[in-house]
A and B are shown apart, each in its own frame.
Chain A
Amino acid sequence: MATDTLSTVEASTERTRKIRASLRRRHLSEAIFRALGLAAIIVALGFVALLFIDVFRKGIPAFVQSNLHLSVTFSPEVIDVGPAPALADFPSQAEYQAASLAWQRQVAMLNWNQIIEASLREAAPEGFEIDSRQILSIPETNARHQVREMFVANPSLLGQTVNVDVLASANADNWIKGNINRDLGDAQQQLSPPARTLIDAFVDNGTITSGFAWSILTNVDSRSAPAAAGLLGAFVGTLYMMLIVIVLAVPIGVAAAIYLEEFAPKSRLTDLIEVNINNLAAVPSIVFGLLGAAVFINWMHLPISAPLVGGLVLTLMTLPTIIIATRGALLGVSPALRQAALGMGASKTQMVFHHVLPVTFPSILTATILGVAHALGETAPLLLIGMKAFVASVPATPLDQATALPVQIYLWQGNENRNFFEPRTAAAIMVLLAVMILLNGVAIYLRSRLEKRS
């Protein structure tokens, strides 16, 4: 009896020792796994931080741009045209319009650079020697259009002197920001020595100041006046495409997923469809671009470079993602809920729309917004349907030529005026990221709100 107890005690201490030893091993492996997980997260976050730091470091200066404050005199010697035609002087609207156009053509032919040059010389230090070509390299080339449009809009400016803010040229902006090394020789500088000296003088006397670069947000792309190049056209193009994707891909995708998951009989055919949808999600996006070019442009003769075509291509690309995500969400609904509905005598459609869909709605919504956000950043398929064309206008309808934000980034990154466009590209990336973060934020907000309600 006593030995029995003893051996039991021994056995139990032996067991305890073994358990402790195995415990140490378990704790060790758990600690290693945790450390690895933490390291993975730190590495991932580190790369994201690196990306953000790089983009912001480059992009933030692009949001600050040099402006020239000039007092422009609409000198009658240069503006040698008759008074603008007035509607009252003409018997018909058509004749007035013809005369008005003729007058505007005349105005356009005038040497507006002369007016700009005069105002620049007035702002320059007295007796500063610089030739016309050199001094006109300081303002952006669109300054003359800006002044001309002012006059067309208000012909009574003739003979008056008004203050006008024009953008400094890309080269001047580079010089001021030091994007070009100031110590480089004349041969390697973009601007002539007198122009550089004059720019510094303008900065000193307050003719040139820097301000927020609204041009990035409010202007369309420009090649002749790089400092005036903006994202508005691309932004509107992207907006049209997003609307088309949301209007087409979401209902079609969700409906297809519901049909496949809830109604379609399980057969070889549906298996085949399922495999193909999964494969479609993995098809490189550029292939969708080829498909779009072949079907929508060559066969259906939709206009090239149009957001409509871009939206259709992105819809095709997003559909599999939405279908797969929605099916996954539907699959996750507990059978108990389905049985409860069917047991109450609900039809299958009623079961889906009254019970299953409301429960899965938050996940479907999140998946959809993430799919749309993914489409928002897609570039490759758009290149193949002509959306990389240079478009210097805001598309009025989805059928007009346009480009898209990511394509605009691609175009700017390839621009020859690198010193100026590298920061602009980073700024465009910031805008694109902001739109994406906004979309994801909406997804998170809606999800948490809907989940709270149910």
Chain B
Amino acid sequence: MDMVAGKIRTTQQSVDTAMNPLDALERPIRLTARDVTVHYGAKQALFGISIDIPDRAVTSFIGPSGCGKSTFLRCINRMNDTIEGAKVGGTIKLDGEDIYDPSLDVVELRARIGMVFQKPNPFPKSIYDNVAYGPRIHGLASSKADLDEIVVSSLRKAGLFEEVKDRLNEPGTGLSGGQQQRLCIARAIAVGPEVILMDEPCSALDPIATAVIEELIDELRENYTIVIVTHSMQQAARVSQKTAFFHLGNLIEEGPTEQIFTNPVNKQTQDYIMGRIG
């Protein structure tokens, strides 16, 4: 347990130094959402969400269960398209380009906006094939050596290479939960996305694996725009530079993480941070 605490503390410190509110907000805006609504059939799940996501920073969505934070995350790479009866309104722009434009290919969009899911979901294939899958379908590798290079560097970036370098041909499903989640991150990185969406990536993991993933997220921030949904306020505080609080399908408050956690403007945010709703 001590070790876990220690790890978390180090993560905390590294985040603290980076957690200058201006740092997040001065960055250029990568994603802009305006008046995003989502209906599941007759039921409205999101009510006019507008938010800017800064480049190369971690933005976290927090809020009680069913508040719409995951629903909004899934709008960003159009995973809601796969849900029967889901209707998305409003606009979401990636670098000024509307991602719901009918002429935009959703396959290309998902290559630019990768996603890591709540439960680690590696393909029932080898570790190598898991990471190589994205580059293969998108035609990113020109040769076998090229592909090897992508796989190794992706596994390295995900901090998994040293642990699996001797068993790349073993099934990815045989790894531990935390390793599986890092494999999923490596798999997402391999395509070279600009944005990585993470939907409660640590909720199925133990504290040690969680600490490792959090450290990884902090490292990845240098190269990727990361949006993370979390039910853990501590996690949001540790890893993110910008935080948005959702409640009952509304975006209640957004701002630099430090400000949200120390000096929230809205009463509901305050209550949630203090643990009075949730």
A-B CB contact pairs (8 Å), 14 listed: A342-B82, A343-B77, A343-B110, A343-B114, A344-B134, A344-B191, A345-B109, A345-B111, A345-B137, A347-B107, A350-B137, A354-B133, A359-B124, A454-B124
A337 within 8 A of B: yes
Interface hits, A289-347 → B, CB 8 Å: 334, 336-347
B187 within 8 A of A: yes
Q: Which of B115-123, B145-153, B158-166, B235-243 touches A?
A: B115-123
Establish whether residues A340 and B137, one from each chain, have CB atoms under 8 Å apart when the complex forms: no
B188 within 8 A of A: yes
Establish whether residues B107 and A343, one from each chain, have CB atoms under 8 Å apart when the complex forms: no
In the assembled complex, the Cα of A344 lies from the Cα of B187 at a distance in Å of 8
Q: Which residues of A contact B26 (CB under 8 A)?
A: none
Establish whether residues B84 and A340, one from each chain, have CB atoms under 8 Å apart when the complex forms: no
A268 within 8 A of B: no
Minimum CB–CB distance for A35 against chain B, Å: 40
Establish whether residues A336 and B110, one from each chain, have CB atoms under 8 Å apart when the complex forms: no
Minimum CB–CB distance for B116 against chain A, Å: 8
B167 within 8 A of A: no
How does the 8 Å CB contact mask read for B187-221 relative to A, with 1 for contact and 0 for none?
11001000000000000000000000000000000
Establish whether residues B82 and A338, one from each chain, have CB atoms under 8 Å apart when the complex forms: yes
In the assembled complex, the Cα of A359 lies from the Cα of B122 at a distance in Å of 13
In the assembled complex, the Cα of A102 lies from the Cα of B72 at a distance in Å of 92
Chain B interface (Cβ within 8 Å of chain A)? 77, 79, 82, 84, 107-111, 114-115, 117, 119, 121-124, 133-134, 137-138, 184, 187-188, 191
Establish whether residues A337 and B107, one from each chain, have CB atoms under 8 Å apart when the complex forms: no
Query: Which listed residue, B109, B111, B184, B191, touches A340 by the CB 8 Å rule?
Result: B184
Q: Given A266-B84, A345-B191, A346-B107, are A339 and B137 also a contact pair (CB < 8 Å)?
A: no
In the assembled complex, the Cα of A312 lies from the Cα of B82 at a distance in Å of 37
A58 within 8 A of B: no
Establish whether residues B107 and A345, one from each chain, have CB atoms under 8 Å apart when the complex forms: yes
How does the 8 Å CB contact mask read for A354-375 relative to B, with 1 for contact and 0 for none?
1100110000000000000000
In the assembled complex, the Cα of A354 lies from the Cα of B110 at a distance in Å of 17
Q: Which residues of A contact B123 (CB under 8 A)?
A: 337, 340-341, 355
Query: Which listed residue, A336, A346, A350, A359, touches B121 by the CB 8 Å rule?
Result: A336
Question: Looking at B108, B119, B121, which has the most chain A CB atoms within 10 Å of its CB?
Answer: B121
Establish whether residues B138 and A343, one from each chain, have CB atoms under 8 Å apart when the complex forms: no
Q: Which residues of A contact B108 (CB under 8 A)?
A: 345
| Nearest-CB residue, chain A, relative to B117 | A339
Chain A interface (Cβ within 8 Å of chain B)? 266, 334, 336-347, 350, 354-355, 358-359, 454
Minimum CB–CB distance for A360 against chain B, Å: 11
| Nearest-CB residue, chain A, relative to B81 | A342
Minimum CB–CB distance for B78 against chain A, Å: 9
Q: Which residues of A contact B109 (CB under 8 A)?
A: 345
In the assembled complex, the Cα of A228 lies from the Cα of B82 at a distance in Å of 65
Minimum CB–CB distance for B71 against chain A, Å: 14
Establish whether residues A340 and B107, one from each chain, have CB atoms under 8 Å apart when the complex forms: no
Establish whether residues A344 and B137, one from each chain, have CB atoms under 8 Å apart when the complex forms: yes
Q: Given A346-B137, A355-B123, are A340 and B117 also a contact pair (CB < 8 Å)?
A: yes
Task: Compute the total of residue contacts between A and B using a CB distance below 8 Å.
Answer: 58
Q: Which residues of A contact B134 (CB under 8 A)?
A: 344-345
Q: Given A345-B107, A345-B137, are A340 and B82 also a contact pair (CB < 8 Å)?
A: no
In the assembled complex, the Cα of A135 lies from the Cα of B26 at a distance in Å of 114
Minimum CB–CB distance for A447 against chain B, Å: 16
In the assembled complex, the Cα of A427 lies from the Cα of B160 at a distance in Å of 63
Minimum CB–CB distance for A443 against chain B, Å: 21
Q: Given A336-B117, A340-B117, are A345 and B138 also a contact pair (CB < 8 Å)?
A: yes
Establish whether residues B117 and A343, one from each chain, have CB atoms under 8 Å apart when the complex forms: yes
In the assembled complex, the Cα of A342 lies from the Cα of B137 at a distance in Å of 12
Minimum CB–CB distance for A354 against chain B, Å: 7
Q: Which residues of A contact B117 (CB under 8 A)?
A: 336, 339-340, 343
Q: Given A345-B108, A345-B110, are A339 and B121 also a contact pair (CB < 8 Å)?
A: yes
Establish whether residues B121 and A344, one from each chain, have CB atoms under 8 Å apart when the complex forms: no
In the assembled complex, the Cα of A318 lies from the Cα of B184 at a distance in Å of 41
Q: Which residues of B contact A337 (CB under 8 A)?
A: 121, 123-124
| Nearest-CB residue, chain B, relative to A344 | B134
In the assembled complex, the Cα of A346 lies from the Cα of B188 at a distance in Å of 12
In the assembled complex, the Cα of A181 lies from the Cα of B177 at a distance in Å of 76
In the assembled complex, the Cα of A336 lies from the Cα of B138 at a distance in Å of 21
Q: Given A350-B137, A454-B124, are A343 and B119 also a contact pair (CB < 8 Å)?
A: no
Query: Which listed residue, A336, A342, A345, touches B119 by the CB 8 Å rule?
Result: A336
Question: Looking at B82, B108, B111, B191, which has the most chain A CB atoms within 10 Å of its CB?
Answer: B82
Q: Given A266-B84, A336-B121, A454-B124, are A342 and B79 also a contact pair (CB < 8 Å)?
A: yes
In the assembled complex, the Cα of A336 lies from the Cα of B191 at a distance in Å of 19
Question: Looking at A334, A345, A358, which has the most chain B CB atoms within 10 Å of its CB?
Answer: A345
| Nearest-CB residue, chain B, relative to A340 | B121
Extra pairs beyond A343-B117, A344-B134, A345-B138 (20, CB < 8 Å): A337-B121, A339-B121, A340-B117, A340-B123, A342-B79, A342-B110, A343-B115, A343-B188, A344-B114, A344-B133, A344-B188, A344-B191, A345-B108, A345-B137, A346-B133, A346-B137, A347-B107, A350-B137, A354-B137, A355-B123
In the assembled complex, the Cα of A355 lies from the Cα of B133 at a distance in Å of 11
In the assembled complex, the Cα of A233 lies from the Cα of B122 at a distance in Å of 52
Query: Which listed residue, A340, A350, A354, A454, touches B122 by the CB 8 Å rule?
Result: A340
In the assembled complex, the Cα of A341 lies from the Cα of B133 at a distance in Å of 9
In the assembled complex, the Cα of A338 lies from the Cα of B123 at a distance in Å of 10
In the assembled complex, the Cα of A336 lies from the Cα of B122 at a distance in Å of 9
Minimum CB–CB distance for A329 against chain B, Å: 15
